[in-house]
Amino acid sequence: MAQNLSVVSLEEEMKKSYLDYALSVIIGRAIPDIKDGLKPVHRRVLYAMWETGTTHNKPYKKSARIVGDVIGKYHPHGDAAVYDALVRMAQDFSLRYPLVDGQGNFGSIDGDPPAAMRYTEVRMTRLAEELLADIEKDTVNFVPNYDESLLMPEVLPAKFPNLLVNGASGIAVGMATNIPPHNLGEVCEGLIYLIDHPKATIDDLMRFIPGPDFPTGGYVFNRQNIRQAYLEGKGVIHLRAKTTIERADKGEKDRIVITEIPYGVNKARLLENIAELVNNKRIEGIADIRDESDREGIRVVIEIKRGELPEIILNNLYKHTALQTSFGIIMLAIVDKQPKLLNLMEMMNYFIAHRRDVIIRRTKHDLKKAEHRAHILEGLLIALDYLDAVIDLIRASKTVEEAKNGLMTKFKLTDIQAQAILEMQLQRLTGLERQKIVQEHRELVELIKKLKLILKNPEMVMQIIKDELKQLKEEYQDERRTEIRDEVITDIKAEDLIKEEDVAIVYTQSGYIKRTSLNAYRFQSRGGKGRKGIEMKAEDVVENLFVGSTHSYLLVFTDIGRMYWLKALDVPDAGPSGRGKAIVNLLELQPEERVRSILAVKEFREDQYIVIMTNKGLIKKTRLSEFKNVRKGGIIAMNLKPKDSLFMAALTNGKNDIIIGTRMGKAIRFKETRVRPMGRQAAGVKAIALKPKDRVISMIVIGPEDKYIFTASEMGYGKKTPVEDYPVHNRGGQGVINLKINEKIGPALAMVGINEDDLLIITVSGKVIRIKTTAIRPLSRATQGVRLIQLEPGDKVCSIAKVRED
């Protein structure tokens, strides 16, 4: 016994044994074959169902019966593993095109387990049968099973590229695969194009196959990432749930509704995660979460607290939950019994090569069968031509063998032909049967010619592949479920998630800011009482009211000459009567710093300017682009002189006229070109000479659309005056009369340039009225105007804003 022992290196033995194990896992368990896209267990399950006749048009069979056949005949492993593989092939949320038609409980997208195999029933889907079509025609190689008692297919003939269509995932030893599913119709179109254009590029193919198509729908972002993965065989794509924001009716809450989730996400676990984040206050603003999903599809409703911004909450959900995930693409498959990383072009070419081999082998099989049958028919026709002689010879023969040899010798027949004549039934001797034999022989001759032509002509083989792909596309194609978006997901902002609309933005003296859709304010005739526009604290007043877009940046200028910015979407949509949010919670203002002016801009263009006005009549012009890089603590917008403060800022194109109005009813108009551009830290130049106790109330940058100057007083009076009534002077003068003020109308409050625009007028008590300026007739400068709003005792107008015509 000692003589049979040999000394081996432990290191070498470990290397060899581990390599054998690794190859076994890679090839025999975890990585799919490029030809049919199946791992061994899935292939064996389908073949076992095919063998038992469990096709789509036959009755269901118990899952336990199929699992038993697979284990006993082809796959000697645990029944749980085989049943898990069978179940996954029946789940429409796991496979884009299920290969098994299940009856019973096969689990759910919530992670519920399937029923035991003794309860569930299965059969193949029609599409799965296309994987095994023509398998009986020697189209693929068969190999012995584990005990060499049976044969099983090495791969399936696979009429469609299952690996691309249904994808695959698996972890082997030292490698893994993760191939996303695709739309069958798109893949078929891409394959047809590639057959016609063998030198096609990835970009050419992406015109037909734009990207993955997951069974659970959702969004895939960034086509460039998809292209990179298709080009290199690996990459990362980002998936996002399909959500909608349902705006609430009066008295109800806004809702975020989720109708599709990223592939592979467990819905129940997702909702638990959201609830946990809400309970831990990681995400605020969610009032309730409800799962209203049913057989029709997914519907998860997230109710938002009043005053909160659904877009911001949605962004937080994307950031902290599986509503947004990444999918790492690794297109690894078994090619000629070796694992290989493939790009999209290679995967498609390997499938085309596989189908070419299948069709050639099928054609050879059909040819062999046709030639065999034609050969027999030729013998039968000879017998029918010499029927009496054949009958006499058979009757004269003492044995079957003697009759067969006699036929072969006398009529020069082969053994097969002679045997067929001896086995021929007497009914075949009728004239009608003879005609059938002649017709069948003629058809076989034509078929043989056609089959031989196919084998000689590679172009005909490729045409057959195309025809089969077209047929598959017509029978099985469906609508794409996953929407592909061009945006780069890292650049997705909150404003990209909602429709752009004009909003009124209100800022109060006590520092609260809110936004409200203009649709919330209905028109009233001048002299109306207005409606409640904001819930005011005692002694609070509206200080700033202007119209912007939900996609705007808000440039916030303060009295000490600093500038901050925030996005309009960061301002809460509090509705017409809501109070809003303290601006100190949105900006890092310094102690005692007060907001004086807020501008809405979409982009920081080089050809636009910010004109800044101070209370003491100084003006400064600076390029808008100098304000685009804002630090968290703000930046200097203007260096102020002692005892002066920033009053307001406006956006210009550098070539406008500017009108400045004062509280005592004066106004001056001058060319903006009279103010040269300065840096952010400059102090500015004189715009108007003010009398004692007078101060600036408005600065208007006159645009080509401004036909009138509208002036409002504190007591609710106002007028519109043609722009031409304001003469152009040099800056620095005292100006001309703009409004004839008295105790009845009060001092001038604000001025704005208009054409046929609407006006929002807001009072100290928080009432808002929207009026059409076309209903007000033009008046000259030296007039007091007409009543705009009926004020309650003690109330005053505190702000006005123009609403664009469109």
pLDDT tens for residues 160-202?
999 999 999 988 777 889 999 999 999 999 999 999 999 999 9
Q: Given this model, what pLDDT does residue 539 score?
A: 39
Rounded Cα distance between 238 and 705, Å, is: 45
Alpha helix ranges (H) inside 182-305:
184-196, 202-205, 223-232, 267-279
Segment 518-531 mean pLDDT: 54
Residues 668 and 798 in one domain: yes
Q: Given this model, what pLDDT does residue 1 score?
A: 47
Q: How does residue 738 score in pLDDT terms, banded at 50, 70 and 90?
A: very high
CATH number of the domain to which 394 belongs? 1.10.268.10
Rounded Cα distance between 317 and 253, Å, is: 18
Do the domain assignments include residue 585? Answer: yes
- Could you tell me the residue range of the domain that residue 91 belongs to? 2-180
Q: Is pLDDT above 80 for 20?
A: no
Work out the number of other CB atoms within 10 angstroms of the CB of residue 566: 17
Do the domain assignments include residue 413? Answer: yes
Q: Give the pair of three-digit tokens for residue 89.
A: 């092939």
Q: Given this model, what pLDDT does residue 508 score?
A: 78
Q: Provide the percentage of residues in the chain whose pLDDT is more than 90.
A: 58
- Indicate if 386 belongs to the active site: no
Rounded Cα distance between 11 and 16, Å, is: 9
Do the domain assignments include residue 504? Answer: yes
Residues 601 and 703 in one domain: yes
Residues 443 and 542 in one domain: no
Do the domain assignments include residue 342? Answer: no
Q: Given this model, what pLDDT does residue 484 score?
A: 95
Residue 252 or residue 216, greater confidence:
216
Do the domain assignments include residue 490? Answer: no
Pick the range with the lowest mean pLDDT from 10-19, 132-141, 765-774. 10-19
DSSP string, 101-158: EEES----TT-PPPPPTTT-EEEE-HHHHHHHTTGGGT-S-EEE-TTSSSEEESS---
Tally the C-alpha atoms within 13 A of residue 500's C-alpha that lie toward its C-beta. 8
Exactly one of 21, 119, 219, 507 is catalytic; which is it?
119
Domain stop point among 476, 491, 526: 476
Give all strands (DSSP E) within 683-737, no chain letters: 685-686, 696-702, 708-713, 717-722, 736-737
Backbone angles phi, psi at 501, to 5 degrees: -150, 160
Residues 468 and 503 in one domain: no
Stated as kind and residue range, the H or E segment containing 324 is strand 324-330
Residues 540 and 472 in one domain: no
CATH number of the domain to which 132 belongs? 3.90.199.10
Q: Is pLDDT above 50 for 561?
A: yes
Rounded Cα distance between 474 and 130, Å, is: 14
Work out the number of other CB atoms within 10 angstroms of the CB of residue 556: 26
Q: Given this model, what pLDDT does residue 495 score?
A: 60
Q: How does residue 616 score in pLDDT terms, banded at 50, 70 and 90?
A: confident
Q: How does residue 572 score in pLDDT terms, banded at 50, 70 and 90?
A: confident
Stated as kind and residue range, the H or E segment containing 621 is strand 618-623
Residues 642 and 503 in one domain: yes
Do the domain assignments include residue 140? Answer: yes
Rounded Cα distance between 307 and 302, Å, is: 15
DSSP string, 389-456: HHHHHHHH-SSHHHHHHHHHHHH---HHHHHHHHH--GGGGSHHHHHHHHHHHHHHHHHHHHHHHHHH
Residues 559 and 665 in one domain: yes
Work out the number of other CB atoms within 10 angstroms of the CB of residue 10: 7
Do the domain assignments include residue 340? Answer: no
Rounded Cα distance between 355 and 340, Å, is: 19
Q: Given this model, what pLDDT does residue 82 score?
A: 96
Residues 356 and 303 in one domain: no
Q: Is pLDDT above 80 for 496?
A: no
Q: Is pLDDT above 60 for 583?
A: yes
Q: Given this model, what pLDDT does residue 630 score?
A: 79
Q: Given this model, what pLDDT does residue 218 score?
A: 95
Q: How far is CA 588 from CA 542, 593, 635, in A?
A: 21, 10, 11
Rounded Cα distance between 566 and 720, Å, is: 33
Distant-in-sequence, close-in-space partners of 451: CB < 8 Å, separation ≥ 6: 363, 366, 367, 370
Domain stop point among 271, 287, 322: 322
Q: Given this model, what pLDDT does residue 167 score?
A: 95
One-letter amino acid for residue 686 of the chain:
K
Residues 456 and 518 in one domain: no
Segment 304-321 mean pLDDT: 86
Segment 96-109 mean pLDDT: 96
CATH number of the domain to which 613 belongs? 2.120.10.90
CA 37 from chain center: how many Å?
Answer: 26
Q: Provide the percentage of residues in the chain whose pLDDT is more than 70.
A: 92
Q: Give the pair of three-digit tokens for residue 486.
A: 């061009």
Task: Give me Rg for the CA atoms of the chain.
Answer: 41
- pLDDT tens-digit map of 220-261: 999 999 999 999 999 999 999 999 998 877 667 889 999 999
Q: Give the pair of three-digit tokens for residue 365.
A: 């099989």
Pick the range with the lowest mean pLDDT from 30-44, 358-372, 576-590, 681-695. 576-590
Q: How does residue 120 score in pLDDT terms, banded at 50, 70 and 90?
A: very high
Q: Given this model, what pLDDT does residue 486 score?
A: 87
Q: Is 173 exposed, middle or buried (0-12, 13-18, 19+ CB in 10 A)?
A: middle
Residues 282 and 358 in one domain: no
- pLDDT tens-digit map of 424-462: 887 777 767 788 889 999 999 999 999 999 999 999 999
Residues 561 and 710 in one domain: yes
Segment 86-104 mean pLDDT: 96
Question: What does pTM read for this prediction?
Answer: 0.66
- pLDDT tens-digit map of 632-675: 788 999 999 888 899 989 989 888 899 999 999 999 999 998 99
Q: How does residue 538 score in pLDDT terms, banded at 50, 70 and 90?
A: very low
Do the domain assignments include residue 535? Answer: yes
The number of folded domains in the chain is 4
Residues 454 and 587 in one domain: no
Q: How far is CA 212 from CA 30, 219, 350, 674, in A?
A: 22, 10, 19, 60
Q: Taking all residues of the chain, what is their mean pLDDT, rounded to a whole number?
A: 88
Q: How far is CA 782 from CA 231, 279, 534, 707, 726, in A?
A: 74, 63, 34, 18, 11
